[in-house]
Structure 1
């Protein structure tokens, strides 16, 4: 019986040459795996946009946490919308051309604690190197997630730091934000769209602030990623053809921009047009 169950699990992650198995975490507002907004996140809508323009494939979806997704990409033929590049990942993951740009991660704190973080503020944003040396301030991060720029480099230096808590799971950002709200941690990291979503939900009792981080880029390219093999090469090649035609179209950009405030939406439009005009 146990062997039969294992066979079923393996089969569920096998993709034929004419099938794309899309993996996704529970990562609002990028992906919604349940509730009234199910399949309406900006990565969900991007996946659906691509699927409509890739009718030669059968498209299926599986939900998993980031750690599980990375493991499955090494073992099976799967894809994901919106995965950061890293030299380590590129050994077994094949990335598309940039599918768009996203506004970068920042530091998320309780608004009432701004004064506590003021010693670490520069004209360019939070000096993360100095901040993370303070053992009195407890940070929380999503294990297995890449934040890019100085965030990842500083996290690498503090892998065994007791005042940095690592959490995993399908809805890890929401859990970290709850910990921040309950004063179990003092800061975490995330995208502005993530924070806008949580604020719209109205589930946070305290006012939350988003602070830019010194050294982070103005925007970061985002990619479609598939398993690195002949199957993945074919799929990524077909995806790139769609992206080249549509990634500046209003319908395509709306999926992400609807989760930005007015000022950020205008900034994102300008950055996107400049980035893809090259």
Structure 2
């Protein structure tokens, strides 16, 4: 089960003592939380965490500590038992924490989100490398977030991009788009559509394919690079290797995805699980 029992004292994170029983493992999950999402993930994350505890061979529990994604990466090395959810795996990040063997989330390819009336300006796809100052187009991203295969292109154009820091990135970037403060932002279309549907936002957007991005994007669990963090990630890996967990995770992804993406996500997850088993 998931429980809330972490504290903040004087601005410093204080984690309650571990239970003495060595079979029990407690992970402190760092991130931005709402009723239906963790960070940018709206793919039933709380249900997935419950699946992990149900399929774990140990007494695995999760507590939660609210903070921005940026601060999460700063705080995780300071904690013995911290974990984060739905993180892109990069060599630099693997120096900071232990990543799960399997992805905890799989999203359709990233898209450029634009106002519906502006979609006509993009005949085929959006090429980040073609952005020029003379275009006077304002494109935004979330600060300190990895965009996978796009990271190198983003780094080359960072002077021409706007990076927004802080929580609720989808909400804030949508608001900026509606107010004509930006011309587009990079995000998963299903995440944006889920937010619009849940919050009944009366605003029409279009998603534009991005050049060089054709495969689903995996997000992993990552835990502190400590002995305890290794125990946590090993327990998570064992839970995710169970057929019951894998079948349920595939169902959650297919339920969340749009019609055109259901088979894409399901087939990719099946391939990942079969290749690793």
Give TM-score scaled by structure 2 length. Answer: 0.83
User: 1:48/1:215 Cα in 2 relative to 1: closer, same or farther (>3 Å)?
Assistant: same
| Number of corresponding residues | 261
Q: Specify the alignment match of 2:233 in structure 1.
A: 236
Q: Specify the alignment match of 1:155 in structure 2.
A: 154
Q: Deviations over 1:118-175 (max 9, x none)?
A: 3xx3xxx32221135554110111101111112x2122123333xx221111211210
- Residue of 86, 96, 101 corresponding to 2:90: 86
- Residue of 43, 51, 63 corresponding to 1:60: 63
- Residue of 32, 44, 47 corresponding to 2:46: 44
Paired with 2:16 and 2:60, the residues of 1 have a C-alpha distance of: 16
Q: Specify the alignment match of 2:13 in structure 1.
A: 10
Q: Bigger shift: 238-247 or 207-216?
A: 238-247
Report how far residue 219 of structure 1 moved. 1.4
Q: CA RMSD in A?
A: 2.8
3-state SS of the aligned residue for 1:10? strand
3-state SS of the aligned residue for 1:226? strand
Report how far residue 27 of structure 1 moved. 7.2
Q: Specify the alignment match of 2:4 in structure 1.
A: none
Preserved contact between residue 107 and residue 216 of structure 2 (Cα < 8 Å):
yes
- Residue of 152, 167, 180 corresponding to 1:170: 167
Report how far residue 247 of structure 1 moved. 7.2
Q: Specify the alignment match of 1:140 in structure 2.
A: 140
- Residue of 66, 75, 83 corresponding to 1:72: 75
Q: Specify the alignment match of 1:31 in structure 2.
A: 38
Preserved contact between residue 129 and residue 157 of structure 2 (Cα < 8 Å):
no
Q: Deviations over 1:198-238 (max 9, x none)?
A: 23136444320111111114112321110111111111111
Unaligned runs of 5+ in 1: 34-38
Asked if 1:258 corresponds to 2:267, the answer is: no
3-state SS of the aligned residue for 1:233? helix
Paired with 2:134 and 2:97, the residues of 1 have a C-alpha distance of: 36
Unaligned runs of 5+ in 2: 1-7
Paired with 1:51 and 1:181, the residues of 2 have a C-alpha distance of: 40
Structure with greater strand share of residues: 2
Report how far residue 250 of structure 1 moved. 3.7
Preserved contact between residue 139 and residue 187 of structure 1 (Cα < 8 Å):
yes
Paired with 2:54 and 2:193, the residues of 1 have a C-alpha distance of: 28
Preserved contact between residue 15 and residue 21 of structure 1 (Cα < 8 Å):
no
